Structure 1
Amino acid sequence: MAQRAYYEPGTNGVERLPTSLTMFHASPLLMRTAHWHAQVEVNYVVQGWAHYTMGNHSIRFHKGDLALFWGGRPHLLNDASEDLVYAGGHLPLVHFFRLRLPTDVQSKLMQGAILLTSATDVSDALNFERWNKYARSGDPMKAGMAVDELLLRIERIRFDPYTLLPDTQSMQEWGGMDHHASPIVVRICDYIADNFREEIDSADIAAAAAIHPKYAMSVFKKSTGMTLNDYVNLMRLSYAQALLMQDDANVLQVAMDSGFGSLSAFNKSFRKIAGMSPSDFRRDVRARPSAPIDKCLVLDERLN
């Protein structure tokens, strides 16, 4: 009996590209190790079912379900039907905070809630397939239309029944964003996306957004549930996760290339999200069978 192959972060995978919008339409491989990435993930189940473990809870998506969740929390696809096909995209925060969604939805997604709707129809299956083909066409106009239409489809969720899971009543409430905060968060995310591998601090970020550092920290925390430092580290850790998969990866070099100023800071941050050291993570993942997977197409994050 052939040994089963599993998905692992690749050199050019979504983990390596935390600032990019990616789109996919594929039969995914199961995962043996949770991964994370600094984008909101959009999943539409074309056929079959998929079972995810996300933090302390798990959820199964069925054919016709459309779901959004924050990929910055470790999650894994640990079971699925043999005929599973799913489609969707990974949205950097610079796109996510431009969406016209209810503020409580954006805030709760950033806290770890999952938005789930079954209010879909046959047109969604056709559209997700077309968007993926447009994105892969090599035609910039078609690629741009794919992104625009995907974002509009997500915004349309607010007009149909949807659920936020798990029970969000138990989640900490911080009030969500107001309409003044969203453009500021977009400017902050834009700057961090361009500079997360450099030595930056709250003063640099605030200056780029043309606001006071204390206000930058306050509005970002209120909108995302993360501190500025948490988000910068998440971008770096997503990038580092993929670098660790390279055969010649040196942990110290990965730390430096990802923007960490020291190996100790890298180890501490990595342990916090992965529950193990970077060296153990690399050794653990490399010991497992893998297979190539070409599920994502990278689109320029400035398309929209």
Structure 2
Amino acid sequence: MVERGFYEPGLNGVERLPTELHMFHASPKLMRAAHWHAQVEVNYIVRGWAHYSMSGYDVRFSAGDLALFWGGQPHRLDDASEDVIYAGGHLPLVHFFRLRLPQDMQAGLMQGATLLTRASDGSDPINFLRWNDFVRSGDPLKVSMAIDELLLRIERIRFAPYELLSGLRTKPGAAAADPYISPIVLRICDFIAENFREEIDSVDIAVAADVHPKYAMTVFKKCTGMTLNDYVSLMRLSFAQALLMREDANVLQVAMESGFGSLSAFNKLFRKLAGMSPSDYRRDMRSRPGATIPQRPAAREPYN
């Protein structure tokens, strides 16, 4: 196993900023424990190989592989070659549902499968490097171009051989990329992203999306495999995961800041996803050598 330091959830990182596109191009750090985030993760292996432990299965990506998986499932990069370089990004659902994907791709990803294609070419290393530079530039036009180009690259996977890896079959009746319901799902995701820390329910979400609450719930479940409540909870848990890194983190305070109405609900949902209580998670994070945790988030850093 390569020794290059370990990844720790950052206060201003992907877990805490679930509505922003994060791009990366680097040698990745291994993970001591699984993490999760409310975006679809895109990985392109520039050099070497990387091994992930997903929920219920393992995958290994090698140089030239392009892979996508739903970050809402706990996952862990647990091994990699010494020379590995990977590129990619964390794609918020507001962008993911802009994609024109085949039915099996969209449904499989949201059900926890990993989409893998080995049909990449010489332009991919150049493009991923440029998209990383554009997003990190902070220039809104460059960021917009990077997003559009990345989405087009993902859509082109449908024209090449690809696999959906998970050991599970796609559930029947999964949603196709319906051009009518996609804008509704986008409006739903936008509203939840802006308001998940507040007390919101299906009626609030439906009003913002300009549809009937029952229809909002049906459409969202059809597209994502999650209920509205499941997705709101995931956003809150992702946010809380980063807050627990704070030196002065109090579990009750984290629960309230993340939008949970009660400590018992927070504990129950956190344990269900992480396999441990928030207190145990916080203790585990603090016991890790080299962990530096400021008391409060500093000014937002560029995408990291």
Alignment identity in percent? 72
Alignment of 1:159-198 (within 5 A): 159-169=159-169, 171-177=170-176, 178-198=178-198
Q: Per-residue CA shift, 1:34-87, capped at 9, x if unaligned?
A: 000000000000001000000110010000000000000000000000111100
Pair 1:298-2:297 in alignment: no
Hey, what does 2:145 align to over in structure 1? 145
User: Does structure 2 conserve the Cα–Cα contact (< 8 Å) formed by 1:7 and 1:290?
Assistant: no
CA-based RMSD of the aligned residues comes to: 1.6
Alignment of 1:27-176 (within 5 A): 27-169=27-169, 171-176=170-175
Q: Distance in 1 between matches of 2:94 and 2:140?
A: 20
Hey, what does 1:239 align to over in structure 2? 239
**Superposition deviation, residue 222 in structure 1:** 1.1
- The alignment partner of 1:14 has SS state of coil
1:51 maps to a residue whose letter is H
Hey, what does 1:258 align to over in structure 2? 258
**Superposition deviation, residue 289 in structure 1:** 2.6
Distance 1:215 1:138, change over 3 A: closer
Gap regions ≥5 residues in structure 1: 300-304
Alignment of 1:269-280 (within 5 A): 269-280=269-280
Hey, what does 1:219 align to over in structure 2? 219
Q: TM-score of the superposition, structure 2-length normalised? A: 0.92
2:133 maps to a residue whose letter is K
Distance 1:290 1:87, change over 3 A: farther
Q: Distance in 2 between matches of 1:146 and 1:190?
A: 20
Q: TM-score of the superposition, structure 1-length normalised? A: 0.92
Comparing 80-89 with 174-183, greater Cα deviation is found at 174-183
**Superposition deviation, residue 168 in structure 1:** 4.3
Q: Distance in 2 between matches of 1:89 and 1:297?
A: 14
- The alignment partner of 2:43 has SS state of strand
Comparing 133-142 with 63-72, greater Cα deviation is found at 133-142
User: Does structure 2 conserve the Cα–Cα contact (< 8 Å) formed by 1:39 and 1:92?
Assistant: yes
Alignment of 1:18-29 (within 5 A): 18-29=18-29
**Superposition deviation, residue 220 in structure 1:** 0.8
- The alignment partner of 2:67 has SS state of strand
1:116 maps to a residue whose letter is L
Q: Per-residue CA shift, 1:7-56, capped at 9, x if unaligned?
A: 11011110011111111111111001100000000000000100000011
- The alignment partner of 2:280 has SS state of helix
Distance 1:230 1:102, change over 3 A: same
- The alignment partner of 1:220 has SS state of helix
Q: Distance in 2 between matches of 1:207 and 1:159?
A: 38
Distance 1:23 1:227, change over 3 A: same
Q: Per-residue CA shift, 1:183-225, capped at 9, x if unaligned?
A: 1111111110110000000111111111111111111111111
Q: Which has the higher contact order (CA 8 A, sep 6+)?
A: 1
User: Does structure 1 conserve the Cα–Cα contact (< 8 Å) formed by 2:36 and 2:75?
Assistant: yes
Gap regions ≥5 residues in structure 2: 293-300
Q: Distance in 1 between matches of 2:183 and 2:275?
A: 34
